[in-house]
Amino acid sequence: ASKEKGRNRFSRFAPEMLHEEQWRLQLLHELEKGLAREQFMLHYQPIVDMASGRTVKAEALLRWEHPLHGVLSPGEFIPAAEESGLIVALGDWVFREATRQLAEWRHLAAPAFELSVNVSPRQLHASEHAVQDWLDWLQQLALRSDSLTVEITEGVLLDGDQATGAKMLALQGAGLKVALDDFGTGYSSLSYLKRFPIDFLKIDRSFVSKLPQSQEDRVLCSAIIAMAHQLGIEVVAEGVETREQHIFLRGQGCDYGQGYWYGRPMNARSLGERLQAEAGQADPLGAAPGQ
């Protein structure tokens, strides 16, 4: 819902004030300014181990606190950032900020906690030294590389881009984990699984939202989970909004859940408090709302 609000906010300005091209340039200029002025921030959404109910991981989600338009979600500015190449600088910022925060949480609250960051194809493609720079940075933070998962959407490696494929493999070679995001929404999900070693598969929200009523989606989710497990891949269900969805997916052996039912994306401080609270709890989901 907040995504819709944000989009309206922008589109309310765009057509009235400026021609489309002018608007795009304006947006790019604002993005650059925003980066320099530290208007970006990360929210973190819990990823819960379905068996134990514990928040074992979080996904870092980018937000732009625009001085005029309020908080903007990534769908509103990532495409422009990708088109312009600014995604490289923005993505570097995300990587550094997220890992700095992860190191703090592991130190203070949860030693085994992990983080997922989204990486766009263009970002991997465009940055010459990204992989080595990132590894150096992790080392500076004394962070194990396997505490970090890189989320990519399919399509990244299937457009014949060898260099990007090589970078993904280098990241994995260095111990980072790779998640295939929004699984099932593209044309080539299955051939991707065949070609690249994946650690996690994230079932897209569109397969989860009509559970458990939809017989089709029940079959698809069960089959995806079974197939992934046979390939040695762990499964995260996205967009889990109800207790019934959680129960169904857990019953099918799904490993992790992410969605409003476990928690909305929240600021770093709130997630830190959640981790502290869970540290002293035997059964965190037992205390979850809606239970």
| Contacting positions for ligand C2E (CB under 6 A) | 3, 45, 61-62, 73-75, 78, 91, 94, 118, 120, 151, 181-182, 205, 239, 241, 258-260, 265
Q: Which does 30 bind (CB under 5 to 8 A by kind): ligand C2E, Mg ion, none?
A: none
Residues numbered 80-119 forming contacts with Mg ion, rule: CB under 5 A: 118
How far is residue 285's CA from residue 53's CA, in Å, rounded to a whole number?
5
Out of 151, 154, 217, 278, the only residue in the binding site for Mg ion (CB under 5 A) is: 151
Judge contact between 97 and 42, C-beta under 8 A: yes
Half-sphere exposure of 195 (CA within 13 A, CB side): 17
How far is residue 194's CA from residue 41's CA, in Å, rounded to a whole number?
36
137-142 contacts: CB < 8 A, separation 24 or more? 137/95, 137/96, 137/99, 138/99, 141/99, 141/100, 141/103, 142/103
Nearer to Mg ion (CB atom), residue 110 or residue 119: 119
Q: Which does 3 bind (CB under 5 to 8 A by kind): ligand C2E, Mg ion, none?
A: ligand C2E
Q: Binding segment for Mg ion among 2-10, 39-47, 155-163, 234-242 (CB under 5 A)? A: 234-242
CB of 36 to Mg ion, least distance (A): 26
Contact status: 181 vs Mg ion (CB under 5 A): yes
Structure tokens at 14: 């765009």
Nearer to ligand C2E (CB atom), residue 94 or residue 285: 94
Q: Which does 76 bind (CB under 5 to 8 A by kind): Mg ion, ligand C2E, none?
A: none
CB of 60 to Mg ion, least distance (A): 9
Q: Which does 241 bind (CB under 5 to 8 A by kind): ligand C2E, Mg ion, none?
A: ligand C2E
Out of 182, 217, 255, 278, the only residue in the binding site for Mg ion (CB under 5 A) is: 182
Q: Which residues bind Mg ion (CB under 5 A)?
A: 118, 151, 181-182, 238
